Amino acid sequence: MYVRGHKKDYDEWKSQGNSGWGYEDVLPLFKHSESFKSVGDFGYHGTNGYLSVNVIKSNHAQVEAFIEANKELRIPEIDYNGKQQIGVGRTQTNTINGRRHSVGKAFLQLARNRTNLRVESNSLVTKILIKSSKKRAYGVLYMKNSVPYKVKCRKEVIISAGSINSPQLLMLSGIGPKSHLKKIGIPVTKDLSVGCNLQDHPAYFDLIFETNHTEPEITLRENIRNYLNGFGRLTIGGNVNALAFFHTDSTNLSESPEIEIIMIPSDISNPYLKNAHRYTSESFDAIWSKVKSSKSFTIVMVLMHPKSRGTVKLKSSSPFESPLIDLNFFSDNEETDIEVMYQGIQRTLKLLETKAFKKLNASLVYNPLPACKHHQYLSKKYWYCQIRQLTTTLYHPVGTCKMGPDPNKGAVVNSKLQVHGVCNLRIADASIIPVQTSGHTNAAAIMIGEKLSQLILNKQ
201 is catalytic: no
Determine the Cα–Cα distance for residues 333 and 355; give it in Å rounded to an integer: 39
CB 363 within 8 A of CB 213: no
The neighbour count for residue 460, using CB atoms within 10 Å, is 12
CA distances from 397 to 20, 142, 226 (A): 23, 24, 34
Q: Vertex 18, ends 15 and 23: CA angle to 5°?
A: 70
User: E strand or H helix at 131, and its extent?
Assistant: strand 123-131
Reference 140, options 126, 154, 119; nearest CA is: 126
What DSSP line would sit under 265-290, residue for residue? SS---SHHHHHHTT--HHHHHHHHTT
Give the H or E element holding residue 130. Answer: strand 123-131
Q: Is 125 annotated as a binding residue?
A: yes
Helices marked H in 49-193? 61-72, 103, 109-111, 162-172, 178-184
Dihedral sign for Cα 75, 78, 79, 82, please. Answer: negative
- Please identify which of the residues 6, 247, 396, 420 carries the catalytic annotation: 396
Whether 440 is a known active-site residue: answer yes
From residue 454, give the alpha-carbon distance in Å to each of 301, 431, 449: 36, 19, 9
Q: Which of 60, 180, 305, 440 is catalytic?
A: 440
Q: Which residues are annotated as a binding site for FAD?
A: 125
Q: Which residues are annotated as a binding site?
A: 125
Q: Which residues are catalytic?
A: 396, 440
